């Protein structure tokens, strides 16, 4: 599975020549409301199995959580179910707030 640091993801998102990946936030709703990356889609880890059909297996998908642990497990689950372009955001939104967007709330 591919891994991206927050700064690498920021560079990608800022590059107008690259297609934007699906930013898949797998935290709970209250966490997403507290802070999230702009344009991220919320799909809690607990709902992944039942809502898997809503996702495109060919789409480049960056999986995001609080610290990178839940997203790692979801990314592995997606790969095991035929998703070929899955990337884990290392450190999650916590690392994003500390390395990229210092205005983002942390918890």
Active-site residues: which are they?
A: 65
Pairwise CA distance, residues 7 & 14, whole Å: 10
> Strand runs (DSSP E) across the chain, as ranges?
2-4, 22-25, 41-42, 61-64, 86-89
Q: If you search the block for the tokens 């966490």, which residue do you land on?
A: 31
* 3-state class (DSSP) for residue 103: coil
User: Do the Cβ atoms of 23 and 71 come closer than 8 Å?
Assistant: no
Note the Cα 37 to chain centre separation in Å.
Answer: 9
């Amino acid at each position: 599975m591919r891994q991206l640091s927050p700064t690498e993801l920021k560079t990608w998102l800022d590059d107008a020549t690259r297609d934007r990946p699906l930013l898949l936030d797998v935290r709970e709703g209250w966490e997403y409301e507290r802070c999230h990356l702009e344009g991220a889609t919320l799909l809690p880890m607990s709902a992944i199995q039942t809502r898997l059909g809503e996702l495109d297996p060919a789409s480049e998908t960056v999986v995001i959580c609080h610290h990178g642990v839940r997203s790692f497990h979801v990314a592995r689950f997606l790969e095991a179910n035929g998703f070929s372009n899955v990337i884990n955001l290392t450190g999650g939104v916590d690392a994003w707030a500390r390395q990229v967007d210092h205005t983002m709330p942390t918890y």
